[in-house]
Chain A
Amino acid sequence: MEVKTFKDGGAHVPHYKSFTEDKPITRMDAPDEVVIPLSQHLGAPNEPLVKVGDKVEVGQKIGEVDEFISAPVHASISGTVTAIEPRPAYTGGEIMSIVIKNDGGPQEFVSKEKRDPDKMTIEEIREAIRDAGIVGMGGAAFPTHANISVKKPVEYLVLNGAECEPFLTCDHRQMLERPYELVEGARILMRSIESKKCRIGIEENKPDAIAAVAEKARGYDGIEVVPLAVKYPQGNKDQLIEATTGKYSIRGVRSADVGCLVRNVGTTIACYDAVVHGKPSMERVVTVSGPTVPRCGNYIIKIGTKIGHVLKECGVDDLNGYKVVLGGPMTGMAVADLESGVVKGTTGILVLPPDMVREEVAYSSCVRCGKCVDHCPMLLYPNQLSIYAEAEMYDELMEWDVMDCMECGICSYICPAQRPIVHLIRMVKPTIRKMQRAAAGK
């Protein structure tokens, strides 16, 4: 199998995967209380289907809304609803959530059926995925059923097994331990988008996963594993499409119209579980890692488990001066409140000690070293964008294509002047969006 990669930009960032890449997936005990946000996805927030005092069962649907772009939420434990109120979200604000108290009974989801996907219609498949509340689990959290409800066949199904972010290994372990479910999930998705070709992109630093998945895919014509060179941000949609299929994303064109539908491998496995076993989205594999975490690993964690609880279970004690990050260290978000909970899009919980923490140091002017320009995968000029963003020069920002930035973070990572380039770009995007909408509205 030939190793593929993307041509422009990219950088080698340290991996830090040795902490957890050999740790098999283990189930973390269900906590005493879960806080399940009613909105864990892009799209309309759900309305609660239960009220305070109701007894719920693990897997029971507890929130839904009648909008196309939405995904219902389900109880992750059996117990009693003790509150339906705003609760801390990891972003620092509050979000309407359903709080369930553990009833002490068995908490693992037991499947009541086993369906044969080959005997189901495409409509039934999509309905099963929608009903299970599956959203993109690589972090994007877009409702999957909406993605796969395509109007015409898509040429390629591309599965994202790159996992290019440092520390994260949840996708790696899932590919290694559940390759059958991955390949079968791929077949289910291929049917629903009427695609005959599937490409599973896996970075070369996971040779065992490549072998395991390739073995299972061998019987199927059309499903191919593509080993990828280890280069950040290989897992970003545009770079993944380029490396696995040779196609290029175009501004304003949905990737399905370019001929590719990209799906995270964790989401694919969840789709299999949903379609075949009726298992809803209420727990997921999360990598808990960091140089000072005593019990790093890849854990199955119930949605709604508080982050503070997860860290305590892993032996983390003192967090003064630390940074806790949800997701990967390049694009993930720092946690403001340890009372916030794990949600469907949480790929990892990282504990970064003070000496690794990237402080907001005083930064200097751009010294035009050109490193950001050399490494930007979108072929932008991050240094110019940062200068214009600081000066709030919006016309120039649009002229230099600021909205094409996909916020991979390489520019900020590599800048010798310590300029927070991605942050400056993020801050101006809402204004530009508003300006574009106003212009379009005329």
Chain B
Amino acid sequence: MDNQKLVFTPAPHLKDDLTVNQAMRDVIIALIPVSLVAVYFFKFYAVFMIAVCMVTAAITELVFRKVMKKESSLGDYSALLTGLLVALCFPATAKWWMGALATFIAVGIAKESMGGLGWNRFNPALFGRVAVIVLAPIIMLIGTNFLLVPANFGAVDVVTRATPLAMLKQGMEMPSIIKLFVAYPGGAMSEVSPLALLLGAAYLFYRGHIKWHIPVSILATVAVLALVTGQNPLYHLFTGGMFLGAFFMATDWVTCPITSKGRLIFGVAIGVLIIIFRVGLAPTEGVAFSILIMNAFVPLIDRVTKRISYVDPRLRGAAAPGRERATAKG
């Protein structure tokens, strides 16, 4: 037996099965229940919006990476996931090109221009969604003057209903809690069924991709503060982007703190901001804004919650001996 081609690579020589692609695919799978409920209510409008966004996401990522002379990373499914998330942030009957624009901004600007997956500072899907809201006046101008082709798939009788959050704000009579939780066709596509989102989140918990710290801290904070301000906490939990935000957006690996302690602080702060937005301001995308604001604070949270090394004497109550700190500057 002579020296046949032995593989000579460094330790460790065993590898756990999880890959980034697998994790991203799992999140897409977890969003299937709520997508199906949206399709049930909004028929082809939902399918079209989701398709448009996912295709735009893929094309945007391809183009940006090509221009930046990087390899295609479509294989990691993160673009498709971002596309799906952006679509779910829109009502099914929103103009399709607004969804496309939001996706373009999400993938092109919030993600690829920042350095690609892992380097983005803000949650790409929320960034794209919020960008479109902020640019609304300009979009209205373009929309009315250039008559972009509207999609017309026939009448859908839920189009003219007010969103549950608006109803809450205006003190209108609310549909039952059960209805809101299980299936209610109002607002964005992600709002139609908190139950479906919960099912998806349960799958992610089971696979180990998300932990309880962020969702629980967000929802608990919102519930407590809702009670404190004399409102029904369940109406808050089951309306708007709450569930999508708490389970899918705020838990995005890249844009949340890396330690459990940091994540709890993150979640509580998001919860506080959400209540401030919802109680004090117009009922639009409070969850999205809150998460994006806290995304900006993640480096600070990580620094403040930085833990010290196992062998650091300070961890055991001893004073730190003067540590030799050589610097490149000498």
Chain A positions near chain B (C-beta within 8 angstroms): 8, 13-14, 92, 166, 238, 248-252, 308, 311-312, 316-325, 329-339, 350, 352, 354, 356-360, 364-370, 373-374, 377-381, 383, 394-395, 398, 401, 404, 407, 409-410, 412-414, 416-418, 420, 422-423, 426, 432, 435-436, 438-440
Contacts and interface: CB of A to CB of B under 8 A. Distances in A.
Nearest to B311: A251
Contact of A379 (B20, B115, B309): B309
A379 B307 contact: yes
B20 A334 contact: no
A319 B1 contact: yes
B225 interface: no
Interface residues of B, number: 52
Interface in B49-65: none
A235 B242 CA distance: 46
Contacts of B175: none
27 contacts: A250-B313, A251-B311, A308-B1, A312-B1, A323-B13, A330-B11, A330-B13, A331-B11, A332-B11, A336-B8, A338-B2, A358-B13, A364-B20, A365-B115, A365-B118, A368-B118, A368-B253, A368-B254, A369-B23, A370-B253, A378-B309, A395-B327, A410-B12, A413-B15, A416-B22, A435-B328, A438-B326
A410 B7 CA distance: 21
B14 A323 contact: no
Interface in B288-330: 306-313, 315-316, 318, 321, 324-328, 330
B279 to A, nearest CB: 32
A312 to B, nearest CB: 6
A359 B9 contact: yes
B310 A358 contact: no
Contact of A409 (B3, B12, B259, B309): B12
Nearest to B316: A248
A335 B6 contact: yes
A337 B3 contact: yes
A330 B253 contact: no
Given A330-B12, A334-B10, A379-B310, 10 more contacts: A92-B8, A248-B315, A323-B8, A325-B11, A338-B2, A364-B20, A409-B11, A416-B19, A420-B10, A436-B324
B161 interface: no
A250 B6 contact: no
Contacts of A250: 311, 313, 316, 318
Interface of B: 1-16, 18-20, 22-23, 73, 76, 115-119, 253-254, 256, 258-260, 306-313, 315-316, 318, 321, 324-328, 330
Contact of B8 (A330, A334, A367, A417): A334
Contacts of A324: 6
Contacts of A334: 6-11, 13
Given A364-B76, A436-B326, A311 B12 contact: no
A416 B18 contact: yes
Contact of A331 (B1, B7, B12): B12
A370 B5 CA distance: 36
A369 B253 contact: yes
A423 B10 CA distance: 7
Nearest to A437: B326
B309 A329 contact: no
B118 to A, nearest CB: 3
Nearest to A423: B10
A287 to B, nearest CB: 15
B119 A379 contact: no
Contacts of B315: 248, 379
Contacts of A395: 327-328
Contacts of B327: 395, 435, 439
Contact of A251 (B13, B20, B253, B312): B312
B5 A321 contact: yes
A321 B315 CA distance: 46
Contact of A325 (B13, B15, B22): B13
